Amino acid sequence: MSSAIKRGVSLYSYQNETFQGRMSLEDCIRTSAELGAKGIEIIGEQTFWGWPEYGAADADVETWHRLIKQYDCVPVSHDFMLDYKRYKGREMLFAEQVASVKKDIDFGARLGMKYIRALVSISPDVLVAAAPHAEEKGIKILIEVHAPLHFDHPWIIRHAEAFEKSGSDALGFLPDMGMFLFSFPPVWKEKFMRLGVPKTIADYVEKAYEDRVLSEYVILNVQQMGGVGPAIAMAETLRHNAAFEPKRMLDHMGRIHNIHGKFYQMTEDYVEPSIPYDEIIKVLQQGGYQGYICSEYEGNRWIEDAEEPDSVEQVRRQQVMLARLLGEAEVPTIKTAPISVAAE
């Protein structure tokens, strides 16, 4: 049985390779397409040099459309940033922020996207004011619900209420699966230990996370165990991460249109040790979700001090897991070498 849920990749996942110029846009799109992850999400200003300060070149946008067509892919989302601290010493005014969002709506439409992603720090009033323009352009603006925020947080509830009151269906949510962090990620623990956290403290924090102990107690206990510097930082990750429940998405399914398949590590046997994808898929199927889950690999920054990340292999493993959980018969496989330029 195949599922109505579709697979995609946020090209953010390949950042370690694209940063170094080792994978081209074509390498990223072809690799994702070969894995059967036909939905392509980008951070506009990562993929298109110039955006937004001096604009994306027409030739680059033409290349984008050519590659999307050539590899039979679907543009899903342009993740925009809205740098409201662009001016030193003052935040952008309301009208400036709305104008900036409208520019990103236009850019999303130029790329053929269905959605643009708003960062969670943006005020609901700004998004509501931009919604009519989004409707005109056939775009939905999705606010990314990302740890430490979650669907029961007052800030997100304020967005949900503002969206309902606006009456616009151009406003919605893009949940990041990192908010359902049910175990302390092994790659985090290993990095903190490389930074000098004693094993006794690292083991304690990991166990306290399993036991769902309140972050402030964990921080105090680590201090009393003699923890300093990186040990405190390790404990403080509990302030920004928690095992919220996937089922909390169910109240909002009508406005959830895209999903960030965040992951920190995929093991050789296709398991994400810290995020419960089996449960997540069940909830999404129960809620009748029919959009994309886009891989979002974020383990690179946790391992790069010790080894060169292999983003493509990590994405491949997650896509194998997703295909399996979605009941697809075929195992996603890469057919063409994904890296066009050797490491520096």
Partner 1 sequence: MMDNKMIVEGSLQSVDGGFSFLGRLPYYRGLGLSMIEDIQVTVDGEVQPRESVRFAVRGQTYTLDEMETVYDNRWNFGEKATIIVLNGGLAAGDHTITFAVRYRVSYLPFVPTTKDTKELALAA
What's the burial of 337, exposed, middle or buried (CB within 10 Å: 0-12/13-18/19+)?
exposed
**What is the closest distance, in whole angstroms, from the C-beta atom of residue 120 to partner 1 in the complex?**
8
User: Rounded CA gap, 263 and 298, in Å?
Assistant: 6
**What is the closest distance, in whole angstroms, from the C-beta atom of residue 328 to partner 1 in the complex?**
30
C-beta closer to partner 1: residue 16 or 215: 16
Give the closest residue to 178 by CA, choosing from 257, 240, 118. 240
Give the closest residue to 302 by CA, choosing from 329, 261, 283, 274. 274
**What is the closest distance, in whole angstroms, from the C-beta atom of residue 15 to partner 1 in the complex?**
5
**What is the closest distance, in whole angstroms, from the C-beta atom of residue 283 to partner 1 in the complex?**
27
**What is the closest distance, in whole angstroms, from the C-beta atom of residue 226 to partner 1 in the complex?**
26
C-beta closer to partner 1: residue 86 or 207: 86
Give the closest residue to 116 by CA, choosing from 51, 161, 166, 54. 51
Q: How many CB atoms lie under 10 A from the CB of residue 102?
A: 17
**What is the closest distance, in whole angstroms, from the C-beta atom of residue 110 to partner 1 in the complex?**
18
Please say whether the beta carbons of 13 and 314 come within 8 A: yes
Give the closest residue to 210 by CA, choosing from 179, 242, 187. 242
For residue 6, the one-letter residue type is: K
3-state SS class at 71: coil
User: Rounded CA gap, 74 and 61, in Å?
Assistant: 15
C-beta closer to partner 1: residue 31 or 100: 100
**What is the closest distance, in whole angstroms, from the C-beta atom of residue 12 to partner 1 in the complex?**
6
C-beta closer to partner 1: residue 303 or 326: 303
Residues near partner 1, by CB under 8 A: 12, 15-16, 18-21, 43, 45-47, 49-50, 52-54, 81-88, 119-121, 300-301, 304-305, 344
- Residue holding tokens 């997703």? 322
C-beta closer to partner 1: residue 82 or 208: 82
C-beta closer to partner 1: residue 84 or 182: 84
C-beta closer to partner 1: residue 86 or 158: 86
CA 234 to chain CA mean position, Å: 22
